[in-house]
Amino acid sequence: MRPVHIAGFAQLPHGLVDNRHDEGGMVRAVTAAALQEAGLGRDDVGFTCSGSSDYIMGRPFSFVMALDGIGAWPPIRESHVEMDGAWALYEAWVRLQHGDVDVALVYCFGKSSLGDVEAIYALQNDPYTIAPLGLDPMTAAALQARQLIARGLLTEREIAETVVNARRNGQSNAEVPAIETRSVEQLLAQPLVRDPLRAHDAARFTDGAAAIVLTVGGGGPRIAGIDHRIDSMNLGVRDLTLCNSARIAAERAGAHNIDAAELYVPYASQEKLLCAAMGLDPGVQINPSGGTLVAETPMVAGLVRIGEAARLIRSGAKRTLAHATAGPCLQQNLVCVLEEAP
């Protein structure tokens, strides 16, 4: 494998509502910042790949307008995934293995404020059997949490502690909207929304964009391993107290000797399960940025995890892990392990 490094990372400050930028505006700002950090120009980029969702943006072909934002002229080698930007990074990493291209630009954007994200995700379900029932992802996550609690693998107190930690870590992240710290007792006093989950157990949706510049060779955190896997969507055939896809992806990406991890946690009840599935030791620092419980921009939060894990390497960590997910009950998972450049 050719050594691929994260040479630049930028995110737009994630806001609860971003009324200032359209797709093109978001993408132009964030890609320019990432290229600047990498010390590269647009002409240096040999492959571009982006991630977004038409449903999140409320219209078909939303990525087409975004392409105008990066000024794709003269024409560029380019592709797009209808997925989180973390998977766009995976495609770019594959393309860099070919040998004819040495710099790739990855970007993604999402605006949760344009619609009801939970309602959109509920439409991802099997349209013949499950979607008509209106099973939203929080309800599915609550069923999963119930099973974890019933098997003695999780307590309501642990769910609350996850939220406490995320909000505490989020205080020092200038790129997410302010969020108040809370004690476990204060959280547990809140009403249940989907038993055993409370409103604050869900990731907080934001608007934003992110970009990463990948280079073959050069400096910056190096991708030590990357893999992604999917489980069945059919909740009835899965053991929801396990997460096989995350386990396989972590094994194949080399998730050992990890100092810190940035995990895409849609619901606080899923963090402990994810850590167990990926074999992360109790000493691993989880979500120093505050993670998705503080700011989840749809189609962006996964790439942001990779960017944040790269920042941790730049600030002294030896080996970090980034994780992205999609689908109900952590159905699809991507794991990217980063390490210091040798």
Partner 1 sequence: MSGPCAVIGIGQTHYAAKRDDVSMPGLIREAVLRAREDARLGFEDIDCVVLGKAPDMFEGVPNPELFLADALGAVGKPIFRVHTAGSVGGSTACVAAHLVQAGIHRRVLAVAWEKQSESNAMWALSHKVPFQPPTIAGAGGYFAPIIRAYMARTKAPEHIGWKVAVKDRQNALLNPYAHLQIPDISLEKVQQSPLLWDPVRYLDTCPSSDGACAVVLSSDADGCENPAWVRATAMRSEAMLFAGRDEVNPLAGRQCAQEVYQKAGIQASELDVAEIYVPFSWYEPMWLENLGLFECGWRAVDEGHTLLGGRLPINPSGGVLSSNPIGASGMIRFAEAALQVRGMAGAHQVEGAKLALGHAYGGGSQFFAMWVVGSTPG
Pairing relationship of beta strands 47-51 and 207-216 according to DSSP bridges: unpaired
**Cβ proximity to partner 1, 75 vs 152, nearer residue:** 75
CA 183 – CA 71 distance, rounded (Å): 47
For residue 260, the SS3 value is strand
- Site membership for partner 1, residue 91 (CB under 8 A): yes
DSSP string, 6-67: EEEEEEPPPBS---S--HHHHHHHHHHHHHHHHT--GGG-SEEEEE--HHHHTSTTHHHHHH
- Site membership for partner 1, residue 283 (CB under 8 A): no
- DSSP assignment, residue 15? B
Per CB under 8 A, the list member of 9, 63, 109, 205 interacting with partner 1 is 63
Per CB under 8 A, the list member of 71, 219, 254, 279 interacting with partner 1 is 71
> C-beta of 342: minimal distance to partner 1 in Å?
21
In the block, residue with structure tokens 């004690």: 183
- The HSE-up count of residue 84 (CA atoms within 13 Å, CB side) is 22
Binding positions for partner 1, 205-264, rule CB under 8 A: 227-234, 244-245, 248
Binding positions for partner 1, 18-57, rule CB under 8 A: 48, 53-55
**Cβ proximity to partner 1, 77 vs 151, nearer residue:** 77
In the block, residue with structure tokens 């955190």: 221
**Cβ proximity to partner 1, 108 vs 312, nearer residue:** 108
- Site membership for partner 1, residue 17 (CB under 8 A): no
- Site membership for partner 1, residue 193 (CB under 8 A): no
Per CB under 8 A, the list member of 36, 97, 181, 183 interacting with partner 1 is 97
CA 22 – CA 64 distance, rounded (Å): 12
- Site membership for partner 1, residue 270 (CB under 8 A): no
- Site membership for partner 1, residue 80 (CB under 8 A): yes
For residue 261, the SS3 value is strand
Per CB under 8 A, the list member of 16, 25, 124, 285 interacting with partner 1 is 124
> C-beta of 258: minimal distance to partner 1 in Å?
21
CA 78 – CA 80 distance, rounded (Å): 7
The answer to whether 167 and 180 have CB atoms below 8 angstroms apart is yes
In the block, residue with structure tokens 């249940």: 192
The answer to whether 273 and 154 have CB atoms below 8 angstroms apart is yes
**Cβ proximity to partner 1, 223 vs 312, nearer residue:** 223
- The HSE-up count of residue 329 (CA atoms within 13 Å, CB side) is 26
- Site membership for partner 1, residue 72 (CB under 8 A): yes
> C-beta of 155: minimal distance to partner 1 in Å?
30
Per CB under 8 A, the list member of 27, 67, 148, 313 interacting with partner 1 is 67
Per CB under 8 A, the list member of 9, 90, 109, 264 interacting with partner 1 is 90
> C-beta of 186: minimal distance to partner 1 in Å?
35
3-state SS, 147-199, equals HHHHCCCCCHHHHHHHHHHHHHHHCCCCCCCCCCCCCHHHHHCCCEEECCEEH
Per CB under 8 A, the list member of 20, 59, 157, 318 interacting with partner 1 is 59
- Residue 332 Cα to chain centre, angstroms: 12
Residue ranges that bind partner 1, judged by CB under 8 A = 48, 53-55, 59-61, 63-65, 67-68, 71-83, 87, 90-91, 94-95, 97-100, 120-121, 123-128, 130-131, 227-234, 244-245, 248, 326-327, 331-332
